[in-house]
Amino acid sequence: MVHEKKLDREVLLPSLLEDDEEEPGENVQLVEQISSQTEVDVRGPKDQLSSPDRSAPDGGENQNEEEGGEREEEESLALDGDGDTDSELGEKDEAYDLTGKTSYMKACEKLHVVPASRFLENIQNSELALMHRGLGPKGTKALAVSLVTNTSIRRLNLQDNWMEGMGGAAVAKMLKENRHITEVDLSDNNLGDFGARAISAMLKVNTTLVRLHLSGNRLTDQSAECLGPALVTNSTLQHLDLSHNALGDHAGRTLGDCLSENTGLRSLCLVWNCIRGRGAARLANGLGGNVFLRTVDLSCNYFGKEGAIALGQALKENNMLEELNVSNNQIPPEGAIHLALGLRVNKTIKLLNIGRNPILTTGCFRILQSVQENSDSSMETLDFSGITVNQEFEDLCRAVKEALPELRVKHGGTMGTLRKVKP
């Protein structure tokens, strides 16, 4: 039985670093970039002095000879060359290792990277946190090799390691085979569209991942083209964070169309993107057709009037959403009135954050009035932070709280009660 597992692993591990569904030219170019750069450049600008990718230089001609050998070995691992599998990954005459420690040490040796001591210390724990370690593309590949067969780790945090697209592709390949990891944080790793394609291919086959963070990875509309269909296929991922990226109108349309067919997501975060206009409207339409999402954060985009109108309609149709954040979206009073029309019939929303929008007292009043008129409302928190209201709103607020004593209302202060403090 052990012999069979070793054979399976020998076939699996060299394929880990192959890139699925990618353009050959781009892959070769990325490998050439890694091969031609120094170890510090591979890692990126963060924590260069502690870079695990740096090799100790001998100086002169010896250093150049070593660098030439490193380039050949890196290309062999990155492109899955014809070299002997056992000799590359150190599997010959080794007992089957459920932690992956042996294969990690061999991969680090071949890739000429310093093993991460924190990984070795936590290799048998359920949670592995390696944030801000400067692993780089090669360090990430070495880590991914060992995680293929690791059965202990459930939560993996690799935030801010400058792994770039190739490192992200290695992690994605690993997640295609690992059936134990349920949470992954790849935030702030400069994955780009290249890494997003690999992650999307992984989501189509992975059945264990529940939570995925891709914040701050320079994802664009091209990334959404890949992620959208993956979300239709995947039904196990429940929490997805795509905040602080460059997703625009086209991404809004793509994600909106796919969200209406998704059956797994419970929370979606799209904070600090560039979704506006028709893209925002299509995204809102998708939310209206989704019957599984509970929490959606759309703050710091540009939904404006058009997006707010679509959101109002979505609130009429959706009977599952519980928390909605649309703060900082340039929503005018007319948009707030349409949102209020949706709240008049919605039965599930518990928290609405529409703060820091130019909806004025008029928009705040109409939203609060809709909650008052909805006898089936579940509203618990209305957040109008940063918006100044008048005394008429305050009077309505007191009347509503008599009927809904648990309701909390936040706002930016009341006009007429603010006075300049004398020196």
How does strand 211-213 pair with strand 408-411? unpaired
pLDDT higher than threshold 80 for residue 254:
yes
DSSP-derived 3-state class of residue 309: helix
- Runs of H (alpha helix) within 18-124: 24-36, 39-43, 60-79, 85-89, 101-111, 117-121
Please calculate the CA angle 217-218-222 and round it to the nearest 5 degrees: 115
Q: Please give the residue range of the domain that contains residue 374.
A: 2-411
For residue 417, is it within any domain?
A: no
Q: Which residues pair with 269 in a beta bridge?
A: 241, 297
Contact 154, 183 (CB under 8 A): yes
pLDDT in tens, 119-142: 999 999 999 999 999 999 999 999
pLDDT higher than threshold 50 for residue 151:
yes
For residue 373, is it within any domain?
A: yes
Structure confidence at residue 415 (pLDDT):
86
Contact 183, 128 (CB under 8 A): no
The pLDDT of 250-276, averaged and rounded, is: 97
The pLDDT of 186-203, averaged and rounded, is: 98
| Cα distances (Å, whole numbers) of residue 5 to 1, 11, 97, 160 | 6, 10, 10, 34
For residue 207, is it within any domain?
A: yes
pLDDT range class, residue 47, cuts 50, 70, 90: very low
Question: What six digits make up the tokens of 329?
Answer: 């979206």
Question: What six digits make up the tokens of 260?
Answer: 């209406």
For residue 46, is it within any domain?
A: yes
Q: Which element (helix H / strand E) includes 411?
A: strand 408-411
Q: Which of 241, 139, 193 is nearest to 22 (CA)?
A: 193
Structure confidence at residue 15 (pLDDT):
53
Considering its fold, how many domains does the chain have in total? 1
Query: In angstroms, rounded to a whole number, what is the distance separating the alpha carbons of residues 376 and 304?
Result: 28
pLDDT higher than threshold 50 for residue 12:
no
For residue 419, is it within any domain?
A: no
Query: In angstroms, rounded to a whole number, what is the distance separating the alpha carbons of residues 224 and 250?
Result: 8
For residue 359, is it within any domain?
A: yes
Q: Model pTM?
A: 0.79
For residue 326, is it within any domain?
A: yes
The CATH number covering residue 388 comes to 3.80.10.10
pLDDT in tens, 272-290: 999 999 999 999 999 999 9
